Amino acid sequence: MTNFKKKKVLILCQESEVPIVEESLSQIEEYEVETETTEDIFLRGPEEYLKEMIDTINEDKSIFDGVIGTRDVTSVFANVICEMTGKPATSIESMINCQNKYISRTIQAKYIPNSTPDFWLDSNFLKEFPLVPPFFAKPVRANVSYSSKKCHAYDELRELIRSNTAQLSEYNQYYLDSLAVSSHLKNQLNLETYNRFICEEVIAGEQATVNGYIYNGEINLYGIVKAVFHEDKISFSHHEWPYENLSKEMEAQIQDTVSTLVKGLQLDNTFFNVELRIEEDLEKINIIEVNSRAAFQFAKMTEAIMGINYIQWLCDLAVGKQPRNIKEGENLTYKHCYNFELREFSDKEIVRVPMTSDLEQLKRMYPEVTIKNLVNANTRLSDYKQNLESYRYCILDIPGNSQKEVLEKYEEVTSQLGYEFRD
């Protein structure tokens, strides 16, 4: 038997994602993975953690061969660690080009103007009033639709800024501290805008997420996921893979647009996902935003549809290797997979969440289903970072070989989760 040395990878993730990582690791032989959670890093202090980890790796380069961040927060940490230790990753500047939505829009307008909506910084918008309401407003830097809103009057924007700027500044402090560790405070436009709001024209069409990676300048797209919203809301109901009935011509247009944009943002050696809206009857695409990381929420969907080990795929790129070439359908297990986001639309006290015995029973009944609880009992839904109109408390990945099968499993699983809330 040939001996081989396992590559060592550090994965920075949410505590709720650790079981997903561990389950995937049980099937991997070539990687040795260590996890650090967002929660623990914030308890220690991001700046202190980053300095210590950078010093540790620089003292012994063999301690880790690669670093992965699964979310916007942890991808900042991972990019800083990688750039300061010489590990494979996209540059910090390219990450800023994505995470700062104003900078990102400016680059989009240069490279793909026909797919970029009109946009303004909040102060300019309120001086010029270039759009008649409604318009869309969101923080220049935030995530999960935090403090994002479709405004029907200019005063709604003023109130959004007044009531959220202090909290936004507090939230983004880790971002500033992380960039300081890496000496990346020279991007003046980033520093001037990251705690501001950006205002945009409302864009129409079906929303989708295009998933891909770029390795040594070569772009590979591997899945288009359709987003379904609650009616008249900005909150997701669920995501569907595959995006059905999309024409070959539109797929080609998406490929060209996304490829041009990814290179314009100067991304390289990273997974990415691009959120966009598709107006197929007008042959038009509008970009919403770009993330310089994998859409980890779609990890189990990717595995169900493509038959890959998602963590193994991420590790490949993290250590500087081409992700193994598994084409969609090659190891097909299921034809469909939906990612459901369970929500309440008013703040409530959380009386009960699924017990370990509940989850174990459901796992025995539906081994293919992944359940990710996001909250704890004896807290309130508002204790967790949310968008302005709803409160997300659980994510379900449910695969099946037809839409009917998926929806039947959804009804069966949700009826047995046992969440209880009190007004």
Angstrom CA distances, 158 to 137, 196, 247, 302, 386, stand at 10, 12, 41, 41, 20
The pLDDT of residue 331 is 55
Residue where the block lists tokens 């609650």: 230
Taking the C-alpha atoms of residue 269 and residue 319, their distance in angstroms, rounded to an integer, is 10
Residues 402 and 255 reside in one and the same domain: yes
98 within 8 A of 270, measured Cβ to Cβ: no
Exposed / middle / buried, residue 66 (Cβ in 10 Å: 0-12, 13-18, 19+):
buried
329 and 226 housed in the same domain: yes
Give pLDDT tens digits for 37-51.
999 999 999 999 999
What is the structure's pLDDT at 325?
A: 72
Is the pLDDT at 343 greater than 90? The verdict is yes
Q: Is the residue at 101 inside a domain?
A: no
Report pLDDT digits (tens) over 135-174. 999 999 987 677 899 999 999 999 999 999 999 999 999 9
Model confidence over 254-278: pLDDT tens digits? 999 999 999 999 999 999 999 999 9
The reply to whether 96 falls in a domain is no
111 falls within a domain: no
Could you tell me which residue, 29 or 376, shows the higher pLDDT? 376
Under 8 Å between Cβ of 340 and 236: no
Which pLDDT score, from 0 to 100, does residue 1 have?
Answer: 42
Domain shared by 196 and 210, yes or no: no
Q: What is the mean pLDDT of residues 298-308?
A: 91
296 occurs within a structural domain: yes
The alpha carbon of 354 is separated from its chain's Cα centroid by a whole number of angstroms, namely 25
Q: Are residues 242 and 372 in the same domain?
A: yes
Is pLDDT above 80 for 243?
yes
Query: Residue 328 above 60 pLDDT?
Result: no
pLDDT tens, 164-195?
Answer: 999 999 999 999 999 999 877 788 999 999 99
Cβ pair 257, 248 in contact under 8 A: no
Render pLDDT for 15-24 as a digit per residue (tens, 0 to 9).
989 988 998 8
Same domain, 194 and 246: no
Contact criterion met (CB below 8 Å) for 198 and 140: yes
CB count within 10 Å of CB 375 equals 18
pLDDT at residue number 26: 85
Structure token pair of residue 407 = 């929806």
pLDDT at position 388: 78
Q: Tell whether 333 is covered by a domain.
A: yes
Strands 7-13 and 66-69: parallel
- In this structure, are 245 and 369 located in the same domain? yes
The pLDDT mean for the chain works out to 93
Instruction: Considering only residues 332 and 411, tell me which one the structure prediction assigns the higher pLDDT.
Output: 411
Which CATH number covers residue 30? 3.40.50.2300
408 and 277 belong to one structural domain = yes
CB 274 within 8 A of CB 290: yes
Q: Model confidence over 91-145: pLDDT tens digits?
A: 999 999 999 999 999 999 999 999 999 999 999 999 999 999 999 999 999 876 7
Q: Are residues 194 and 215 in the same domain?
A: no
Residue-wise DSSP of 228-278: EEPTTSSSEEEEEES-TT--HHHHHHHHHHHHHHHHHTT--SEEEEEEEEE
318 token code pair: 């993290």
- For the chain, give the percent of residues with pLDDT over 90: 87
Residues 219 and 182 in one domain: no
The whole-angstrom distance between residue 273's C-alpha and the CA centroid of its chain comes to 8
Residue 329 belongs to domain with CATH number: 3.30.470.20
- Quick check: is 106 in a domain? no
What is the pTM for the complete model shown? 0.92
- Within-domain flag for 104: no
Q: Which of 153, 168, 200 is the last residue of a domain?
A: 200
Of the candidates 200, 225, 245, which is a domain's last residue? 200
**Per-residue pLDDT at 187:** 87
Domain boundary among 73, 91, 109: 91
Pair 77, 150 in one domain: no
Q: Cα–Cα distance between 374 and 393 in angstroms, integer?
A: 5
Q: Which domain holds residue 292?
A: 206-422
12 and 84 belong to one structural domain: yes
Same domain, 165 and 213: no
**Residue 276 counted as domain residue:** yes
Domains contained in the chain, number:
3
Which pLDDT score, from 0 to 100, does residue 329 have? 44
pLDDT band for position 231 (50/70/90)?
confident
